[in-house]
Structure 1
Amino acid sequence: MSREVKIITTEDGSHSLFVPELNESYHSFHGAYRESIHVFMLYGLETWYMRNPETFPIRIFEVGFGTGLNAWLTLVWAEQYKVPVLYHTIEPFPLEKEIYSQLNYTEVDTSIYHYASYFKRLHTAPWNEGVVMSEYFNMKKDKVTLEEAVLYPSDVVFYDAFAPNKQPELWTKEILDKVVDTMNPGAIFTTYCAKGQLKRDLKELGLEVETLPGPPGKKEMVRAVKPSH
């Protein structure tokens, strides 16, 4: 499966993809790279690591492999901090080589350019099987929808689906319950979305919900934590 996408340049100079079928982009127009760093790395992975500095490996579940940006940034983080990460991601519409080979994420921050080769390897790694990507980063990409996916226990959830008004089926309480159910005690759920209905549903599913400052161009985002007790 594939869908038509067009490469666009966001305000921080990094690429994103626009999907005409949905009239939606993969990232914020205000900066794809900055959004991923803010929402998923800073308020997701790094927050969990600070709270659980001796708990390895870190198990991450991502809804929407997409451009591979979140996965690549996580791999770079794991290698830099020498922290083992098990990364499970799903994507029903993998990108074609002609698209992912043009994306410029590895050029945004020259200090981590020596990790550039991993970006292509993330995309070319086989689907539906576990792959050792580097010393500290193991990944399993499943070419599947969230409704169909078999989930594993997770410490951090990168909920990076398209917006609720574009893909409402991925924001129902029932599908959120499927994800929450596999989160470990103390696990973090982080997303760019700050809709009131999402916050109410996550609270009803037993999570402690925080509304945090959003990335550039977005006022708010949501992080939710599964109680440890």
Structure 2
Amino acid sequence: MALPILYSSWSSSCSSRVRIALALKKIDYEYHAVNIRSEEEQKDFFLNNPAKKVPILKINGLTLTESMAIIEYLDEVYPNPPLLPKDAGEKAHARAIAFHISSNIQPLQNLAICKMVDKIKPDYGITWCNHHITYGFDALEELLKKYSGKFCVGDQITVADINLPSIVYNAKYNVDMTPYPTISRIASVLAEIPEFQAAEASRQPDAPKDN
């Protein structure tokens, strides 16, 4: 049987989530790099996805898009290890944290938004992105104080943890992490787990060698 194919970019937060999920599920796959900074290279690739973004996962005869939908599919079809707690309340908390990161923080600080802001107000894109990361982290820190154990929700790795590393990676160069000790603690724990290490941006085959 042919291996699943993941269309990914090393720097894409959304791609990172799927890479982590695949690693946790022990699913081997082919990595197809997509240069999201090159409009010319994107033309053929985006025939696979009208939304014109990564990741795309081709698996079991399906072409799947949207990172959170892909992760849900993987968790249903490959249930071990589970990426959601059994308890309904904890499951809701894990989903809420995951969607807070993926819907409330990440879209406001991605590359396309930074470029658009820079067009409107030159050299303001980074300031814009850092503002929205900080605003989102203020809420995230409080959520994690309430619900975290070793990981984001209790002591089980969940979909919430899958979303955390990439947004912390994006923040670490320009955002003061001092006010966010819980975020930093959990991110440090996750960084020691081999499946999370394998999905790190700098370890992807298309990552710049000096990254």
> Structures share a fold, TM > 0.5?
no
Q: In proportion to residue count, which structure has more helix?
A: 2
Choose between structure 1 and 2 for higher RCO, CA contacts under 8 A separated by at least 6 residues.
2
Q: In proportion to residue count, which structure has more strand?
A: 1
TM-score by structure 1 length?
0.34
